[in-house]
Amino acid sequence: MDILSQNVLNDFQSFLIKTKYKNIIKELKLEYCTDEEGIHYLYLVSIQIKKSQREKGYGSTIMSEIVQLADLYNVRLHLFATNLFGSDLRRLYGFYRRFGFVLIKKTGDGHMIYYPKKVNKMCNLSKAMYV
């Protein structure tokens, strides 16, 4: 079984940015982290689509691939929804909820978590596709 690492994650990001969604992704940054209890998770630092490519469904398509990766490796996916770049927070919350993220209200900082779903690894995303 392949093990998720920052190198695997970097390969995944590079594939999406340089090959699959070339000229579409402005920025995509994922980090492989470990919490205080030693549990591994993915942290979506940023995802930005180029202005000319927005409102065409690319954000949803790319987010689906990121969620599939989390499911495949059975790791949580964390992010902080923010209006720092001019996005409407209610719209962002709705966007991420469509993918199964839940808002951690007790933090009050836009912290959202996606909990992985059990998947049949043979029928889903191929790890070999990104390495």
| Domain CATH number, residue 86 | 3.40.630.30
Does 84 map to a domain?
yes
Does 125 map to a domain?
yes
**pLDDT 10s digits, 46-69:** 999 999 999 999 999 999 999 999
**d(C-alpha 60, C-alpha 113), whole Å:** 17
Stretch 8-16: mean pLDDT:
96
Structural domain total, the chain: 1
**pLDDT 10s digits, 56-106:** 999 999 999 999 999 999 999 999 998 777 678 899 999 999 999 999 987
Does 93 map to a domain?
yes
pLDDT, residue 130, reads 44
Does 1 map to a domain?
no
Q: Would you give the distance in Å from CA 72 to the centre of its chain?
A: 13
Q: Which residue segment(s) compose the domain that 32 sits in?
A: 6-130
Does 62 map to a domain?
yes
Does 111 map to a domain?
yes
